[in-house]
Each structure stands twice: as C-alpha cells, then as structure tokens.
Structure 1
C-alpha cells in the first residue's frame, strides 16, 4: 500500500492517502474542520486541479450548488447536509473508477478568501483478491497487507456491505467495538497480534459456512491515510457422493493436474480429522490409519504419477457419512480437496 503523503499547500492542509478498489459501492474522503466558519456566504469546495472544470462538489448553506461541477462526477458525489454546522466536510464518491484517482482539495471560502483544509490523494486499485474455501474447512485466511512498522494509533476494520452492513472484526477491540461486531462473526475471527510490526492485517475466519460467501473490505486507518483492500470469499460446496449401505464399495474422487513430486505424502482424513488412508514412499501405510478403516480403504497404483488420488472405501456404512479431505504435502500442502459422502441405511 502507498506510503504516507504530506502536501505543503498550507500548514493546516495535512494530506493523506485514501485507497479503494474499483467496483466498490463508494469511498469516503475525510475532511474535518475545527476553525472559524466565515459569517458571510460561506461555502465548501472540493476540487481536483488536473481537471477542467476543476469543481468536484460545492456546498452552500442552503444546499448543494453543482452547476459548475465537472460532468464526470455528476450524480456520484454527496456531503453531509449539516457539514457547515458540524465541520465534517467529508465527501462521498459513489462507484469509484480508475480515472477518479488523483489529488483532491477540500476548502472553505467566503468568496473572497479561500482556505485549504485537507488534501487527499485518492488511489483507485483495479482488481480484487479472491479466496476459495471448501465446505468442511476449519478456517480460511482473508489476506490484507500494508507497510510494516505501523504507528501505535493505527486501527483496522473488516466489514461487509451485503447482505447488510456488518462489522466483522475491529482493532482495537474495545467494548464499544465488540458490541458493533455482527453476531454471525462473534468468536470466529482473529488477526495477528504482531500486525503493527509486520503490516499483515489478514483476517482468519474460523468454521466458514455458505453464509460467509461474498465481498469483504479491509480498512486500515494509519495517521492521515485510509488504506483499503477488497477480498472476495468464494464458498465451494464439497461434491456429494450418495450410496446405499449395501454396496460393496464407494469411490471418493480426488484428481489433480498439479505436478506431484516423488516422496510427497497423500493422506485422507474424515470429518473427525481421523486419518483414513496414507500413501507415502511409494506404497500405502496402514500403520498410520484409523483402526476401523485399516482394511477397508485402498488407492490406485502410482497416484503421484497419474494425479488420481481417489480413495476406494469398502462396505460403506451410515456411520461413514461426512466430509472427507484429500491432502498432498511435501513440506507444504500441494493439493487439498474435499468430498461429501452420504451413506443411506438399509
């Protein structure tokens, strides 16, 4: 993410970076004023000097005055109706596009003198990260990283806007913030405690379900900067295999085109995380398998060469129902797939 920017237009006009992903619903460019409001005909002005006309939004005491607004912002900008009373001159820009990136100035004027309150560098990022998680996973990491050695006052928000506006995780997690957290995510989220040093503000979400599918926004408030990233979580249901308990065997499919090096370890685990089958060093390893499955499972020959890691389970029973995980690792996990087995009783 971008480094901190300070603009030297005025000693009062501290600059900041605001980041947003293209395709977001809106972006807020903050501008808070604590000085004196002119008595005669005060108005607020947001401008972008590289455009002609340079007016982004103008607000007077009796409302918006957008007759000189640059056409590219038509219908996409708004300010609080009570901005001149509260000193909150922040601007909301809807549906930010890549061409909206640039330097924006927030000013107050009485028509004679103009004072720059804030300068904002808006960065609109193209693309978004996508993360897939399969049914039955114990957790999933939503990635978000910024610069290392963050200042002590840094705060982080993870939010969603659909199906409704929700706080997923907030740091610092005060009692007020805890109350804001949506119940759906209570006790299911955590961030690294060392994120101020590393800049890694990724969120771990435990026990993901289909309700967690969708878009997440990671926002980092660092000094004057508002840094934002979007992560889309795709929840994938495990393929379903249905059989009757009277059949002689059932095949749990797991195939990959990923190159699998010799010496990699293949393991199948059930929904209770018990080892059902292990293949390593060129052969099955029944010593590591659960006693109940030791003589009931087998894999095809040379699975690492063929990429067919499917498992045959003999004489399936209703108690075998559940989500099975096929995992290949050699120092790191190379392949991980899941399959949902349903065995109907006689």
Structure 2
C-alpha cells in the first residue's frame, strides 16, 4: 500500500512539472518580447537559455545589471531587458531582428535567496503574406507571392460563386532563407466574373480580386 501511495505521489509530482508552455508569435525581422515574471525579491539572478543542443545563453542579469560575457554570439546585440522593471518582478526580454532560427523553446530562470523560479516560452515566428500579385493572359490567371513562412495555402474562388471546378496548377518552392514562394495558374473562360486569389497562413490571409469583363 505504501508503494502504491508513493507511485501516486510521483505521478502527481510529474504532472505538475509538465504544464503547457506559454506561446508567443512574432513577425520575422521585427522585435519580439519574451515574457517572464517572478516574485520580486532582493538581488535576483536571471538567466535566459534557448532549449536546443548546447543550450545557448540568450542573456543574463546579476549584480544589478545585464551581463553579456557568456552570451551566445547569435544573440549578441539583439537582446535587452526591462531593467527598470526587474525590481517589480519583470524578467522579460526584447529580441530584435527576429530570425527563423530564433523560433523554439526558451527557459527563463530566476533565483532569489536560494529560491528558484522557471518559465518556459515557446516562440513561433511568422513571415505573413504581405503582397499578392495576379495577372491575366487570355483565359489564364496567374497568382504569385513570396517571402512567406510557414508554407502558405492558395485557393481560387469566383464572384458570383460557381459550382464548377476550374482547372488550376499550383507550385510551392522553399528558398535558401527557408521562406516560401508560391505560384498558381487558373484557366477560366467565363466572363463577367470576379476572380479571387486567396492566400493564407496560420497568421492570417490576404486576397486579391481580378474582374474579367464581357466585351461582347
């Protein structure tokens, strides 16, 4: 019976350790704030690490100032803390010039008089659809966009809506920068129709309309 109780306690303890990460979504090449709060106290020691092989040091704070001596080169010159708010329990950091390689899990450790607090943040980076180009050559429409992350979805529609499925061909390419280019060609001979190219990712969507008039 004692062994059973010990097993129950162990399971409950493990459950408390596996709470869901906080998630932050930020835009590629822009600034991003990774949140971390703690119970305020004297002389806090703060460490931010990225959870990956080697656990590179993102930034540190102790001795009442930011410390950069052991900071990973990839984060050098791109991080800062809200030092005027640390006394109020704010250990958040600002990460600038966001890169695709920055996405992933981060751990914030705070130690005050031997008491440790830990927060885990999952950073997701996005390069949203910023523009969509569409052109027509006779009965063929081509819709294009680039510089997108993650991989986008492209659909065609018409206004008024049609129950007919029009043939289209779509290609997606990944660039050396790990961004996506997408192009789709639709064949449509129907006139007096608004042709709509819809592009979407997890961060949003964008549409462009093209009117094909009837010249008869």
Question: How high is the TM-score relative to the length of structure 1?
Answer: 0.35
1:88 paired residue number: none
In the alignment, which of 22, 27, 32 is matched to residue 129 of structure 1?
Answer: 22
Residue 174 to residue 199, structure 1, CA distance change in 2 (3 Å): closer
- TM-score norm. by structure 2 comes to 0.53
**Alpha-carbon distance, 1:185 to partner:** 0.3
Partner of 1:199: 89
Partner of 2:13: 99
The whole-number CA distance in structure 2 between the counterparts of 1:196 and 1:240 is 36
Instruction: Write the distance in 2 (CA, Å) between the matches of 1:246 and 1:180.
Output: 56
1:185 aligns with 2:78: no
Question: 1:236: Cα distance to partner?
Answer: 1.3
RMSD: 4.1
Q: Does residue 169 of structure 1 match 2:59?
A: yes
Structure index of larger Rg = 1
Q: Are residues 1:223 and 2:113 paired? A: yes
Q: Per-residue deviation at 1:165?
A: 1.6
Q: Pairwise mapping of residues 1-346 of structure 1 onto structure 2 (< 5 A)? A: 52=3, 99-100=13-14, 124=17, 126-136=19-29, 138-148=30-40, 150-151=41-42, 153-172=43-62, 177-239=67-129, 241=131, 243=133
3-state SS, counterpart of residue 179 of structure 1: coil
Inter-CA distance 252–140: structure 2 relative to 1 (3 Å threshold): farther
Distance 2:11 2:22 in 1: 17
State the alpha-carbon separation in 1 of the partners of residues 90 and 144 from structure 2.
37
Shift of 1:135: 2.2
Q: CA 1:173–1:163 in 2, change beyond 3 Å: closer, same or farther?
A: farther
- Following superposition, the deviation at residue 209 of structure 1 comes to 0.8
Distance 1:221 1:141 in 2: 21
Deviation at 1:178, TM superposition (A): 2.1
Choose between structure 1 and 2 for higher RCO, CA contacts under 8 A separated by at least 6 residues: 2
Q: 1:236 to 1:173 in 2, by over 3 A?
A: farther
* 8 Å CA contact 1:141, 1:205 repeated in 2: yes
Over 3 Å counting, the alpha-carbon distance change for 1:173 and 1:147 in structure 2 is closer
| CA offset digits 1:270-313 (Å, max 9, x no partner) | xxxxxxxxxxxxxxxxxxxxxxxxxxxxxxxxxxxxxxxxxxxx
| Structure with more of its chain in strand, by fraction | 2
Flag structure 1 segments of 5+ consecutive residues without an equivalent: 1-50, 55-69, 73-95, 102-122, 254-335, 340-346
The whole-number CA distance in structure 2 between the counterparts of 1:232 and 1:169 is 17
Q: Secondary structure at the match of 2:69?
A: helix
The runs of at least 4 consecutive aligned structure 1 residues that moved more than 6 Å come to: 244-247, 336-339
Q: How many residue pairs were aligned?
A: 143
The Cα shift of 1:238 comes to 2.0
Could you list the per-position Cα deviations for residues 304-344 of structure 1 after superposition, in whole angstroms to 9, with x for gaps in the alignment?
xxxxxxxxxxxxxxxxxxxxxxxxxxxxxxxx9798xxxxx
